[in-house]
Amino acid sequence: MHELSIAISIVELAAEEAERRGVQVNAVHLRLGSLSGVVKEALLSCYEMACENTLLQGSHLIVEEVPVVIFCPSCRANRPLHTVQLFSCAECGTASSEIVHGKELEVVALEIQECAPNPV
């Protein structure tokens, strides 16, 4: 169970961006591959805890799950898998371990709110 340390890294990364741009973050958009080794549900439940007493407190984590896509050397094309238990082309059945997508663990965007200027 390493989702808490992953959640802390996400919060740190987003807080750094927010501080640099002087904005408030409402939500963090994350792309999570099915081969990233991170479980979405566990990550979501750790996120709130990781946000406590940071600039991200009260923000949401929005996870986009990325299925595995392999490159099929026979079709010479990127193909999805039927199941992660079988790394072979969904069209022609050729085995391939050339992974194109599915290892993603990246913050792709922040939903922000400009900080309102202080009333004079």
Partner 1 sequence: MRPEPRLIEVRKNVLKQNDAVARTLRDRFRAAGVFVVSLVSSPGSGKTAFLEKTLTLLRMRYRVAAVVGDLATENDALRLARSQAPVKQITTGTLCHLEAAMVESALQDWDLHQLDFLFIENVGNLVCPSSYDLGEDLRLVLISVTEGEDKPLKYPTIFNSGDVAIVTKLDLASAVDFSWETAYKNIQAVRPGMPVFQISAKTGEGMDEYFKFLASRQMEARVTTSA
Q: Which positions touch partner 1 (CB under 8 A)?
A: 1-2, 5-6, 9-10, 13-14, 17, 21, 23, 26, 29-30, 34-38, 84-88, 95-97, 99, 103, 105-114, 116
Cβ closest to partner 1, residue 2 vs residue 57: 2
Min dist. Cβ of residue 53 to partner 1 (A): 20
- C-beta closer to partner 1: residue 20 or 53: 20
The closest alpha carbon to 47, from 21, 17, 22, 15, belongs to: 15
Q: How far is the CB of 23 from partner 1 (least distance, A)?
A: 8
What distances in angstroms separate CA 7 from CA 1, 10, 71, 72, 76, one per listed residue?
A: 11, 5, 30, 34, 37
CB of 55 to partner 1, least distance (A): 15
Q: What are phi and psi of 75, to 5 degrees?
A: -80, -15
Residue 63: name the closest of 106, 25, 15 by CA: 106
